[in-house]
Amino acid sequence: MSKTSFTAFCVEFYANHVGKTGPEVYAEFEKSGLLRELDEDYEDLHGMGMEALMQMFDEYLGDGTKSGMPKCEHHQIRTLIIPEVAKLIAERFGISKSEALDRFYKSATSQNLADEENGLYGQSALFVFGQYLEELGEK
C-alpha cells in the first residue's frame, strides 16, 4: 500500500469511526500533526490492525473528536477512489501525490464525495477527478 493510499485509508476509516466526514478528519489530522506522523512512521503503522490504528488515533487526538454514531457508510469505497484521484491530480499538475491528496481533501469536491446523500461515492475516480477540475475551472 502506498503512503497516499494509507493516508486516505486512515482518514476515511477514522471518519467512519468517529462519525465525521473525510475532509473534517483530514483537517483534524493536519492540525494535530498526525498527517506528518502517518508519513514519517508509515513503515511501522501500515502493518497495524484496524482496531489498533483507531485506538491510536483516538489517543493521539484525545477526547472530543467523536460526534456520535458513524455517518459515513461508504468509507471503504472512498479509500479506493481518493488515492486514484490524488494520482490523477498529481499527474495533471506535476505535483507530489501527497500535495495532491492535500489539495483534494481541502476541495469542495472532497466535501461532495463525503456527502452520503448525493451518491458521488458511487462514481469512478475519473469522474470525481473531472468534478475536481470543474471546481478549479479547468477541463
Domain boundaries, the chain: 3-61, 75-136
**3-class SS of residue 21:** coil
Q: Model confidence over 8-60: pLDDT tens digits?
A: 999 988 998 888 888 999 999 999 888 888 888 888 787 777 887 888 888 88
22-26, 60-64, 72-76, 101-105: least confidently modelled range: 72-76
Chain-wide mean pLDDT for the chain? 84
Instruction: Select the more confidently predicted residue: 68 or 76.
Output: 76
Q: Assign 73 a pLDDT band (cuts: 50, 70, 90).
A: low
The pLDDT assigned to 63 comes to 55
pTM: 0.60
The pLDDT assigned to 24 comes to 92
Alpha-carbon span 8 to 134, nearest angstrom: 22
CA distances in angstroms from 61 to 14, 33, 45, 99, 103, listed in the order given: 11, 10, 16, 23, 22
The H-assigned helical ranges of the chain are: 3-18, 22-32, 34-40, 42-45, 50-61, 75-93, 97-105, 108-114, 125-136
